[in-house]
């Protein structure tokens, strides 16, 4: 059975019919990206994904990475793909061409990444970390640092990573112990140990540039005293040539559940006292620098999880169409032949669940990309603040909610295949294993829920969250005027009103003596917020589909548009009632989670 990465028809629908991204070409910054160019970019990404990345996904998973004497070798098949990726200039799609980028809109890059990550997410980790590290150099580096590092990173000659986590400082970054001591020449001597470092060491590139979080000697404790440093694996001379080894040593790689083609490294800095770094940004401002890039990183993680789910869904649909098993439930002839399993109700339930979530998640992620482009293009401060506020509220949903649902979709994808889904004969089990990490890294999903409740709900005195509700209500108002969508609109309208009540209640509770109870409900609050946003996207899609169906579309498009209506119907009638039940639970402020004694959990 041919493996599929993403539904091109749906990708085009979101880009051109829902978000109308070709309108971005009216602005000078994106004038080269008309519809024809955008379609060409997506087609080239799809071709590379299917012909190269996808074909080596299984082999790379089985071969994995190898560690020996401080050296890490990645799967051999990655070397050819990495050369093609570099040649196509895919690493820095949205960045300045002067530094090796393509200067394309963020939303178009997300469409390309949908294909890349669905085809081979472990391979993509090498490139995403490289780009993220380069972005820190671009944003906070001196002109000298940019000149020495940036183009080589964005073009993939050199790699990059992010050295943040330590054995005793994971989610609690402020507890880190890596130390920086200032040298007489303005550089810093770095010493410390880092763990869980994706692509911290690999043989794809000749040098790896590490942004490192460390505390300058004498700096305040906690996050207030953390600085960011640029630490290359091999020192770079002022003329851009490579110098001496910089005492950055990989001490081992993790044996993991998934993403076997991506090395997760333990790193020792300055074990011989010879690790030199330069300050990136200002002293004691390392965490604020990290938060600047966090939106990008967390959006990419959402895309990683979603892409696994999208691929799993497409594979499940194609398998269900061809796998013949069991008679039709309504067959009356005892000799009736078996039918494809897509005709069985429970399989259809799982497929429609996967379909509706896959479509809604794609719309959410691409929409955030469009907002990022609008931030770049906006000349009005109030508009720019509004767009950025929407992004900030949506990021914990894009990372937390999307990856939670994506893992569930990958589980459905295994289930549709039955026993075959549990074997390595098909990619379904690998997609499930690989997807799991997206719920954990770049801030666990519990932290995303705390971020939504503790920071984003009250952002701009609550205006950002209210702006989001206003956007949802605009679609509701439109749908109320469309006969076949009115009931969906009323259902979502009731849900939005209740979400607003829940937000006000939990926001107050989070500032009271019952703060612990409020944060015990942070994840359910993220869930119901995500459900509401998902329903908004599906209703928006249904509005557009209805308009298209009323306009006598081509025969090949009729089933696609009718499918949009069924996705919305399914979600409104089966998911939102459960969501409102969760909202009632949150409003009850039940304190069992907080009141139970530690001993009552047992386990001894």
**Is 442 tagged catalytic?**
yes
Nearest in space to 130 (alpha carbons), one of 86, 176, 73, 195: 86
Nearest in space to 506 (alpha carbons), one of 580, 589, 401: 589
CA atoms within 13 A on the CB side of 500: 15
Give the whole-angstrom CA distance, residue 471 versus residue 449.
21
Cα–Cα separations (whole angstroms), residue 484 to 281, 454, 479, 490: 55, 39, 9, 12
Written in H, E and C, the secondary structure of 296-328 is HHHHHHHHHHHHHHHHHHHHHHHHHHHCECCCC
Which tokens hold the place of 297?
């990183």
Cα–Cα separations (whole angstroms), residue 285 to 140, 189, 255: 10, 18, 34
**Residues 459, 462, 465, 468: is their CA dihedral positive or negative?**
negative
Give the whole-angstrom CA distance, residue 550 versus residue 132.
45
Give the whole-angstrom CA distance, residue 575 versus residue 353.
9
Give the whole-angstrom CA distance, residue 27 versus residue 42.
20
**CB 230, CB 269: distance < 8 Å:** no
Which of 18-28 are b and which e, b meaning 16 or more Cβ less than 10 Å from the residue's Cβ? Answer: bbebbebbebe
Q: Are strands 188-198 and 208-216 parallel, antiparallel or unpaired?
A: unpaired
Which tokens hold the place of 4?
């599929």
Q: At what angle do helices 486-509 and 463-480 cross, to 10 degrees?
A: 160
154 contacts: CB under 8 Å, gap ≥ 6:
91, 92, 95, 99, 100, 101, 131, 134
Please report the beta strands in 259-377, taking only residues with DSSP state E, as ranges in sequence order. Answer: 264-269, 276-279
Nearest in space to 173 (alpha carbons), one of 298, 297, 291, 259: 291
Q: At what angle do helices 522-550 and 402-417 cross, to 10 degrees?
A: 70
Q: Which of 442, 471, 547, 562 is catalytic?
A: 442
CA atoms within 13 A on the CB side of 452: 30
SS3 breakdown of the chain: % helix, strand, coil, rounded to 5?
A: 65, 10, 25
Helix (H) and strand (E) counts in the chain? 20, 12
Residues pairing with 146 in the sheet: none
Nearest in space to 109 (alpha carbons), one of 309, 440, 376: 376
Nearest in space to 212 (alpha carbons), one of 137, 152, 142: 137
Annotated catalytic residues are: 442
């Amino acid at each position: 059975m041919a493996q599929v990465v993403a539904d091109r028809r749906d990708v085009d629908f979101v880009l051109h019919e829902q978000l109308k991204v070709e309108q971005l070409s009216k602005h000078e910054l994106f004038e080269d990206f008309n519809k024809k160019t955008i379609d060409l970019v997506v087609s080239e990404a799809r071709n590379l994904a299917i012909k190269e990345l996808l074909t080596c996904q299984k082999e790379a998973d089985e071969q994995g990475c190898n560690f020996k004497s401080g050296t890490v070798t990645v799967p051999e098949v990655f070397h050819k793909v990495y050369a093609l990726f570099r040649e196509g200039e895919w690493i820095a799609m949205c960045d300045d061409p002067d530094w090796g980028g393509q200067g394309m809109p963020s939303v178009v890059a997300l469409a390309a990444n949908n294909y890349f990550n669905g085809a081979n997410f472990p391979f993509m980790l090498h490139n995403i970390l490289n780009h993220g590290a380069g972005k820190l150099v671009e944003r906070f580096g001196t002109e000298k640092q940019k000149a020495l590092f940036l183009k080589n990173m964005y073009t993939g000659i050199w790699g990059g990573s992010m050295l943040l986590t330590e054995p005793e400082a994971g989610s609690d970054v402020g507890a880190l112990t890596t130390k920086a001591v200032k040298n007489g020449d303005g550089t810093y001597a770095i010493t410390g140990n880092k763990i869980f470092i994706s692509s911290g060491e690999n043989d794809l590139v000749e040098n790896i540039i590490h942004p490192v979080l460390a505390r300058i000697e004498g700096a305040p404790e906690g996050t207030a005293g953390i600085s960011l440093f640029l630490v290359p694996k091999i020192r770079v001379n002022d003329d851009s040539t490579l110098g001496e080894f910089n005492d950055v040593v990989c001490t081992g790689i993790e044996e993991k559940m998934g993403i076997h083609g991506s090395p997760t490294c333990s790193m020792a800095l300055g074990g011989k006292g010879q690790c030199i770094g330069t300050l990136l940004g200002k002293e004691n401002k390392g965490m604020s620098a990290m938060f600047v890039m966090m939106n990008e990183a967390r959006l990419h993680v959402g895309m990683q999880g979603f892409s696994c789910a999208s691929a799993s869904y497409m594979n499940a649909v194609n398998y269900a169409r061809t796998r013949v098993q069991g008679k039709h439930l309504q067959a009356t002839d005892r000799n009736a032949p078996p039918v494809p399993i897509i005709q069985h109700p429970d399989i259809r339930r799982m497929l429609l669940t996967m379909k509706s979530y896959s479509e809604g998640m794609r719309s959410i992620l691409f929409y955030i990309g469009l907002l990022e482009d609008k931030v770049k293009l906006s000349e009005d401060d109030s508009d720019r603040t509004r767009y950025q506020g929407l992004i900030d509220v949506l990021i914990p949903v894009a990372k937390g909610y999307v990856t939670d649902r994506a893992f569930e979709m990958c589980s459905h994808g295994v289930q549709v295949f039955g026993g075959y889904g549990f074997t390595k004969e098909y990619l379904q089990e690998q997609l499930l294993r690989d997807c799991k990490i997206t719920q954990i890294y770049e801030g666990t999903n519990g932290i995303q829920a705390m971020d939504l409740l503790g920071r984003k709900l009250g952002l701009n005195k609550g205006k950002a969250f209210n702006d989001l509700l206003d956007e949802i209500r605009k679609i509701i108002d439109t749908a109320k005027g469309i006969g076949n969508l009115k009931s969906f609109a009323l259902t979502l309208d009731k849900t939005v009103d209740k979400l607003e009540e829940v937000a006000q209640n939990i926001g107050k509770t989070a500032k009271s003596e019952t703060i612990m109870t409020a944060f015990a409900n942070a994840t359910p609050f993220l869930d119901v917020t995500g459900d509401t946003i998902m329903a908004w996207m599906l209703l928006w899609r249904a509005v557009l589909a209805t308009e298209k169906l009323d306009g006598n579309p081509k025969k090949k498009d009729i089933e696609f548009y009718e499918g949009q209506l069924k996705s919305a119907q399914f979600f409104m009638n089966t998911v939102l009632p459960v969501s409102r039940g969760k909202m009632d639970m949150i409003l009850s402020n039940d304190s069992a989670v907080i009141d139970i004694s530690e001993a009552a959990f047992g386990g001894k």
